[in-house]
A and B are shown apart, each in its own frame.
Chain A
């Protein structure tokens, strides 16, 4: 066994299994930070031992065993230091949890702990992004328009509360699921959005879009009587189906209207339609079903056309009035501008408070399109510069620069 083989195996386990392993340990101990420490120790042990003993047959099972042992040791050490821990209670509790029937995925229980109503609402999605999907605090901070240090502190605080207040790692009962589900779905959606905006995963990090798709499927399967998980799954599938068409062969950004439809994933689109229909049959409209319906309409439109613009306007009106968000308001202005002329679109963009709008790239991008269509060259120049300055993606910057 060479160092290289061991390192490759460890890299692979870190990339594909790290978050699942953290969830498995945390669900048992109720302490996310301690689970992360335990995993770090397990990986360090693997780095030391695998080059000598060889890569174990199931690397993840090996890491899990070592991490659980480390977590148990840490807990007992803390207990002994305090002198008053009912260690027996803890051990029997652990034993009971080991025998408990396995939940499909420990990550789901971890998600519900992170989205618990006793956690600050603004921190529920970031908590899920970090603890379940392993997105680093700096990346979440950027997505949430917050400083990395503030985000780091608030994440630590939320983890400390889960541990100190003994927030349980369990699936909520039927009568309490609606509120809690909403936050879980929002976080999955946010994770998918990060994966979408930032393209390929940085080395060592799982592909967020694929992870979000997996989690979306998991929640939808677990709650067949809830329409919104299926609506969200459909929404993600519509977006994911078009992934390959987002760039042309030269790597240039391709907006929806000019994408090569041969590159769309037909089976994923069909799955999306099935999920959207299944959701709407349950007869309770929700935010994600509405967004999926918007996608469905755009996908089915004739090539080069935005779809039935009046229906699109109506769907966005519903979205903004019932589930308002900055993204929905900007998109609504864009479709109204396309349907009723740029003056109407600009008027709606101007109606959004500047302190919310001005840091938001899509607001400037929509403004650029409206100004170009209205022949307002001075307005277009400003909007173009602002939109480019707020884009991380070079392909999008290039596209914005050449819009005329």
Chain B
């Protein structure tokens, strides 16, 4: 089974990324977590994402393209990155999700990846 683990981080976490006093701890925690995932040999792919301030939202309505600054909605937690892992079952995926630094400050969503053989 493949699962996408989506890391939702609160605004303060994004600020930590460049904070002179906190960035080392922030990146250290993520580096260790991602390193463990890779060492387990379960990573299919994954990326960190730049801050939501860099996001652009696009919609097409009545044939008109509407472009807006910022992420989809102004919510407390925003997508900070994701990783797709291949593990046996949901419990294994949950076990990886709960170890993510974002689980302590924000939330982590686990979603099965739609593969050709898992289509309904």
Residues of A whose CB lies within 8 Å of any CB of B are 78-79, 82-86, 116, 118, 160, 164-168, 170
Contact = CB atoms under 8 A, between A and B. Distances in A.
B115 A166 contact: no
Contact of A118 (B1, B94, B120): B94
Contacts of A165: 90, 110, 112
Contact of B1 (A78, A83, A84, A166): A166
Contact of A164 (B91, B110, B116, B118): B118
A79 B112 CA distance: 17
Contact of B88 (A82, A83, A116, A168): A168
Contact of A168 (B90, B118, B120): B90
B117 A78 contact: yes
18 contacts: A78-B117, A79-B117, A82-B116, A82-B117, A82-B119, A84-B115, A84-B116, A84-B117, A85-B117, A160-B120, A164-B120, A166-B88, A166-B112, A167-B89, A167-B90, A168-B88, A168-B90, A168-B91
Interface in B67-98: 88-91, 94
Nearest to B119: A82
Contact of A83 (B110, B116, B118): B116
A79 to B, nearest CB: 6
B116 A168 contact: no
B24 to A, nearest CB: 32
Contacts, number: 34
Contacts of A118: 90, 94
Nearest to A75: B117
A167 B90 CA distance: 5
A86 B86 CA distance: 14
A217 to B, nearest CB: 27
A160 B116 CA distance: 16
Interface string B24-45: 0000000000000000000000
B107 to A, nearest CB: 14
Nearest to B111: A165
Please provide the 7 A-B residue pairs with the shortest distance between their CB atoms, ordered closest to farther. Answer: A85-B117, A168-B89, A84-B116, A82-B117, A166-B1, A166-B89, A82-B116
Nearest to A169: B89
A91 to B, nearest CB: 14
A165 B120 CA distance: 12
Contacts of B1: 166
A100 to B, nearest CB: 14
Contacts of A83: 116
Q: Which of B91, B112, B115, B119 has its CB near the most chain A CB atoms (within 10 A)? A: B91
B113 to A, nearest CB: 10
Q: Which of B110, B112, B116, B117 has its CB near the most chain A CB atoms (within 10 A)? A: B117
Given A84-B115, A85-B117, A166-B88, 12 more contacts: A82-B117, A82-B119, A164-B120, A165-B90, A166-B1, A166-B89, A166-B90, A166-B112, A167-B89, A167-B90, A168-B89, A168-B90
Contacts of A82: 116-117, 119
B116 to A, nearest CB: 4
A15 to B, nearest CB: 32
Contacts of B118: 164
